[in-house]
Amino acid sequence: MRILLANPNSTEALTEACAVLARRAASPGTLIESWTNREGPPAVDSMYGDYMAGRPLARALAALVPPPDAVVLAGFGSYGGGAVKEVLDAPVVSMAEAAMAIAVPLCHRFAIVTTSARMIPYTEDLVQLAGFAPRCAAVRAIELPPIGAPLDAPRVAEALASAIARVAAETGADLVIFGGARLSPFAEAVRPESAMPVLEPVACGVQMAEALVRLGLSQSKTGKFAPPPRDLKDYE
């Protein structure tokens, strides 16, 4: 089984960090191939960044030959994910959708911790669009430095643990999802400090993609994700 792990931004170091997590989560016999959206922005840290990532992402993934067995979109956002589902027959899994879907049977209500305060409304809209708003207790944030700047790993882990404790106390959430690929590598360090489950979305995306391939399932082509009505070259 070949799963393509697609980073919607152009930061290769983030692709590599997510690939490590994906390969750790993959089952024996699953090949994880990583891909970086080199024509995208260095980070999807705004609505503008989201839109700038979406077009080159969809165009490049539509042109893959041979296509993978499944695609995992390794970013906690939308960035044209619906368009990718339209143009590919293989299952396309957003790591955000996967994490929220896996959270639902494990908790009463989950919280999401994202990478900056400005991304809270963006993430709330993402939750609403995916249909999980009734099960989401809150979206909170820690403040990461700009992408490419040095990260103080112990300080980030401490900030995440503190945010998890606060959101649990204030909202009654009983599970937390890390809402950003930049946060995913910290899950292992934070879990021992958290009384509730911590979901790392790259692993959730890989496991869901594997399950869909094994079940022979993909996105429906009879409705929302039907192929575009014109040849893709007509959209250039």
24 with 39, same domain: the answer is yes
Report the pLDDT value the prediction gives residue 125, as an integer from 0 to 100: 97
135 with 182, same domain: the answer is yes
d(CA 140, CA 130): 18
CATH assignment at residue 179: 3.40.50.12500
Report the pLDDT value the prediction gives residue 170, as an integer from 0 to 100: 97
Low-confidence ranges of the chain (pLDDT < 50): none
Q: How many domains does the chain have?
A: 2
Report the pLDDT value the prediction gives residue 236, as an integer from 0 to 100: 84
d(CA 113, CA 123): 9
- Using the CB atoms, write b or e for 158-191: b if 16+ within 10 Å: ebbbebbeebbeeeebbbbbbbbbbbbbbbebbe
φ/ψ of 73, rounded to 5, equals -85, 110
On whether residue 101 sits in a domain, the answer given is: no
Q: Quick one: how far is CA 97 from the chain centroid?
A: 7
125 with 179, same domain: the answer is yes
Helices vs strands, H then E, count in the chain: 8, 8
76 with 120, same domain: the answer is no
Task: Evaluate whether 96 touches 76 at the Cβ level (below 8 Å).
Answer: yes
On whether residue 43 sits in a domain, the answer given is: yes
d(CA 155, CA 197): 21
168 with 231, same domain: the answer is no
Report the pLDDT value the prediction gives residue 184, as an integer from 0 to 100: 94
Structure tokens at 220: 């429906």
On whether residue 60 sits in a domain, the answer given is: yes
CB atoms within 10 A of CB 125: 15
Report the pLDDT value the prediction gives residue 148, as an integer from 0 to 100: 81
Strand 176-179 to strand 198-199: parallel, antiparallel, or no bridges (unpaired)? Answer: parallel
56 with 80, same domain: the answer is yes
What single DSSP character describes residue 44? -
d(CA 163, CA 85): 34
- Domain containing 181: what range? 106-199
Q: Which strands, in side-by-side order, build the sheet including 176-179? A: 136-141, 110-114, 176-179, 198-199
Report the pLDDT value the prediction gives residue 226, as an integer from 0 to 100: 97
192 with 208, same domain: the answer is no
Task: Evaluate whether 224 touches 213 at the Cβ level (below 8 Å).
Answer: no
